[in-house]
Structures are given as structure tokens and as C-alpha cells.
Structure 1
Amino acid sequence: MMGAVKTRTANHFIGLKGVSAPEIKGILDRADFWENHPDKVTNRLKGTFVSNLFFENSTRTRFSFEMAEKRLGAEVLNFSAAESSVQKGESIYDTVRTLESMGIDAGVIRLKPVGLLAELAEKISVPLINAGDGNNEHPTQALLDLYTMRSHFGELKGLTVSIIGDILHSRVARSNLWALREMGATVKFCAPANMQAPELSAYAPYVSMEEALQADVVMMLRVQLERHEKGMISSAEEYRAKYGLTMNRLEQMPAHAIIMHPAPVNRNVELDDELVEHARSKIFTQIHNGVPIRMAVIERTLS
């Protein structure tokens, strides 16, 4: 089972590190099937109960998963930590175990603590799908990114992808790194010194902003503006000046290169406002592609 950690009876989907190229291609191909499916809603997972377990807020990712689940015909239970007993001190494990006991067939889970998802996978029997865990991985985001690139360029092998921004805290950068390398693409990183993850330099070199622009795909990462309070960035304006994709920098990119961003975008910080919906931007295409990708992942995890 793709990207699965087999524990007890479950096939969890918790990351892309170590997932083979044929498995990734299978997911992308199945997403293509669902994108072109004539019926918006199918009975593929009729009678299946899927819970979205979001212990960290993300309206966009949860809506994308919910759309995917409903298009597959599943019954959806949405769970938000802000409205739950987790706020009263109940552990994340107890909450997931409780829903498992009630009879859910799978859980889509998003949480902040690093390493906790792998621990849960050892103890929970129903399949868990990673919707973002700490700064570890965000596998469905990377898959929709790869799907967007493949749809545009025809294939992934041979592409050069630059990922620019806060690599240190980015689960998107990590999942993209593992998957893109497996599919034969080259990855370059560009980040301020205090936002670099040194352990990843063996897999992708850190380059200057000028060199990063020389790529087939320029992927900007969202800046967590709250890090400004902790001194990681001096100001949004200075970050844009040094690491933002501006209209001037667009002119330095190859004519065929595309712009990507996991969204939501801080307009005029990591990306100039005019570039968000520019002809070369794939940001809203990425969001669109999230639904068929997540349909493919949910279906395959439960099959």
C-alpha cells in the first residue's frame, strides 16, 4: 500500500519519504481519472465513515479533504480541536481512539506535535491520513504540487524545482523534496540562514535567490508572519526585498517557468499581488488539483 506504515490492520498514509516512484505515479494517474470523471459525486465509498481530525486549524485543507470525501460518497464527520474535549485536557490519542471506537473507517489528521502521528499509527487500527504534522510532512500537498507540475510539463523527470522561504519549519518543502527526487526532478532550496534546515542540504543545495530563479518551477513558501515577533524576520518589507518573488524577479525567470505556492499567500510579502493570479501562476490550479489528489489518496488508503 502506497506510503503506508503497516501496523496491526491499518494502512496509514503518513508521509512520502521512502514512497516509490511507481506508487507516486499510481496516485497521480488515479487523480487524473477523478479529475476527468463525469460525475461530481460517486458511490465509490458509500457506507464509509471518514473523520477529519484537525487539531491544528486549516480551513482550506479541511474543505479540500471534505470535498474529496463527499465526492467519493463517504459520510463525513468533522472534528475541530477548538470545539472539543482536547481543550479540556483530553489527549489527542484518547480523542482519536474514541472516534475509532465509535466506528469510523479512516481518519484524516492534522496536528502540530512532531513525531506524534507516527506514535498514533502504532496504536490506532483504522487508517490515518496525514493532513500535515508539525514540520515533518504534508504528503497530499506535495502530491497535488507534483500533479500540477506533471499536468503542465508532461513529466516530472528532469525538472528543476526551487523552493524558497522558511525551509526549517516547512512540511511542504520536505514532502516535495522526497517525492520530487524520487520522480527524477532536481530540487534547490533558498532561505535566510536562520530558516535553513541543515540536515536537508545533503538532498538539495541552498542557493542564492538569483540562482533559485533559474528553474522550471519557482515555489514560494508561506512566511509565518508571527515569526517576526520571535525575531526570525526583521520585517515583512525586508523579507520581500530579499526573498520575495517580485515583478522584477519574474523577469529573471526563464520564460517557460511557472510560479507555485501552497497558499494561503501573504500578498506583497512572499509574492507580489500582481503575481498571485498571473498567467504563469499555478496557485489556484494547485488548490483545484487538491480535490482529485485527495480522492485518490483516500480511496487507495481504504481499498
Structure 2
Amino acid sequence: MTVAQVKQRSLLGLKELDGEEIAAILDRAAYWEAQPEKVQAAKPGKFVANMFFENSTRTRFSFEVAEKRLGTEVLNFSAAVSSVQKGESIYDTVRTLESMGIDAGVIRLKPIGVLADVASRIRVPLINAGDGNNEHPTQALLDLYTMRKQFGALKGLRVAIVGDILHSRVARSNLWGLTKLGVRVVFCAPDNMRAPDLDAPYVTIDEALRADVIMMLRVQLERHESGMISSAEEYRAQYGLTAERAARIGAHAIIMHPAPVNRNVEIDDELVEHPQSRIFAQMANGVPIRMAVVERALS
């Protein structure tokens, strides 16, 4: 496979994709969702390695279900029980699996910048399952897919993303993906959780509630220790989607969250499965999206 082919089939982020490519992935996901048989065996004999150097139960299981539905052979690799703990580099691990003959790799890691470096030196397509505070492209794609299913079209929608924008790879991927499809994105965040590198206006929580989509981000409660948030109760009072605030959103609007949810912090417990919530629908939509992305990597 040429370097150009590897790059074309990889998915490192939405920042580098154009609107047509994003729409094509959403269309292919719709095709896979419509299939009556769970296992299609579209890619038999292909080996895909899930390389998780950072924990994530939901994302890994979602990829694994998607890969098995495509009929691929799945290798699961967890850094917690690997030689990476003994000092082997991430590059060496990926290179080792490449040498064993994998056809594509799904990779999740904490350090920023490592993924792009590894991808430039590896000759199999890589799919970003979350890297540092940089991007989480398949999460954004399943978010876009969820919105498109709800509203029919994305262009002209207004999406408010609320929470810790500064540390959020979900906010970044969503901003870049949504903007390319004609969506107006606004942020709402405490002053010390704003990202100066991202080009979107900040609004108050009351203004955010007027959006078509209110997307709440997970708050890292360990940021208490650094003093970034004073308390979970204080965060909920100022920026949480409380039942009182949810009563003010439009009848057509939907509530989203990348999960896992800190119930009664960024969103009240009773709203997680509210009629306007799409949180579990997002999780379901992750499977056809990841089928489309894995298929693209193997095509």
C-alpha cells in the first residue's frame, strides 16, 4: 500500500477531512444501520488491532462490535497488560503489530502529537479512537449522524457545546466536523475551561439553552484537585443541565452527551433518558459509524 493510500484510508481527525468525505461516511453508516443481518462479513480475512494505550470501555467495545459485524478478525491490545508498561514505546508496539500482518489499527492514546508521528511511519491505515486533548473523530461522526437522523439535514442547525472545552477532544472534532457541514457552533464554559485556539463564540448558559442541540461535556471531577472547579455542586449550579434548565429548551431540541455521564453534575439524573435525550441513541449510532470507518480503512 502506498503512503498516499494509507493516508487516504486513515482517520486521524476531522480537521483534515472535507465536508464531502464526512457526508460520505455518514451515508455509509446509514447503509450499515439499515442492514437486517447483524454480521455481514464484508471484510472476511482482514485483521484489525484495537490498540488502547488509554482506557475506554465503551469506545473499544463499540469498535469491536463494528469490526465483528464486518466479519474481520479482531485483536484486542491493552497497554495495562502489555510490554508498554515495561518501557516499550507506542511506536514499537504498533510497528510490531504491523509486522505481524494487521490490515488496520484502531488506536487510543494520551500523549498529544504521538499519533501523527506514528501514522507517518506506519504502512497500515490507523483510526484515531481519541488522542490526548486533540481529536476524537468517530465520536464527532456519531454525534453528527445522531443530529442528521433527528433533523434530516445539518446545515443551518445551531449546536451549543457546554463544559470543559479546553481539555475536550470531543469539542474539537465536533467543531471542525459540524462547521464543514454548515452548522453554527457556540461554546459555553467557565473562563478557565475556554480554549483560545478554537474559533467559536462563547455564550451564557441561558443562550446555550436556545440551541437546536445542547451537548453537555463530561467534567473530569479530578480537576477539583487542581482547583479548576470548586465543587461538583457549584459546577452543576452554574453550568449543569438541571431539570429546571431543561424545561426551557425548545420542544424540537435534543440533549446530547459523549458519555460516560457524571449524573447530577453536568446533567441531572432524570434527564439522561428524557424524551429529548439522545445519549443512548448516540451510543447505538457509534456502531454503524465505526463500521463505515473501519470498512473505509480496509477498502
- TM-score over 0.5 for the alignment? yes
Aligned to 1:245: 241
Runs of 4+ aligned residues of structure 1 deviating over 3 Å after TM superposition are 6-9
Question: Alignment partner for residue 275 of structure 1, among 266, 271, 277?
Answer: 271
1:203-259 Cα offsets, whole Å, 9 max, x none, are 210111111111000000000111111111110000000000001101221121100
Specify which of 8, 28, 31 is matched with residue 30 of structure 1.
28
Mark the runs of 5 or more structure 1 residues left unpaired by the alignment. 1-5
Distance 2:270 2:216 in 1: 15
Q: Which of 50, 53, 59 is 2:51 aligned to?
A: 53
Q: Which of these residues, 250, 255, 268, is aligned with residue 254 of structure 1? A: 250
Match of 2:261 among 259, 265, 276: 265
SS at 1:214's partner residue? coil
Distance in 2 (alpha carbons) for counterparts of 1:8 and 1:209: 44
8 Å contact from structure 1 (residues 9, 126) kept in 2: no
Q: CA RMSD in A?
A: 0.9
Question: 1:254-286: per-residue Cα shift (whole Å, max 9, x none)?
Answer: 121100000000000000000000000000000
**Which residue identity lines up with residue 287 of structure 1 in the other structure?**
M
Which of 292, 299, 303 is residue 288 of structure 2 equivalent to?
A: 292
SS of the aligned residue for 1:199 comes to coil
In structure 2, runs of 5+ residues without a counterpart are: none
Alpha-carbon distance, 1:9 to partner = 5.1
**CA separation in 2, counterparts of 1:231 and 1:124?**
40
**Cα deviation digits, residues 117-153 of structure 1 (max 9, x gap):** 0001110001100000000000000000000000000
d(CA) in 2 for partners of 1:7, 1:249: 50
Q: Tell me by how many angstroms 1:8 deviates.
A: 6.0
CA contact (8 A) 1:47 1:75 kept: yes
Q: Tell me the residue number matched to 1:3.
A: none
Residue of structure 1 in register with 2:153 after alignment? 155
SS at match of 1:10: helix
- AA aligned to 2:286 is G
Matched-pair contact (CA < 8 Å) for 1:9–1:125? no
Instruction: Give the Cα–Cα distance (whole angstroms) in 2 for the partners of residues 46 and 302 of structure 1.
Output: 10
**Structure 1 CA distance, aligned partners of 2:16 and 2:296?**
17
* Corresponding residue of 2:113: 115
CA contact (8 A) 1:8 1:125 kept: no
Distance in 2 separating the partners of 1:8 and 1:158: 34
Q: TM-score, normalised by structure 1?
A: 0.96
Q: Is the 8 A contact 1:50 1:104 kept in 2?
A: yes
Pair 1:75 & 2:73 matched: yes
1:7, CA displacement in angstroms? 3.3
Identity between Structure 1 and Structure 2 (%): 73
TM-score, normalisation: structure 2:
0.98
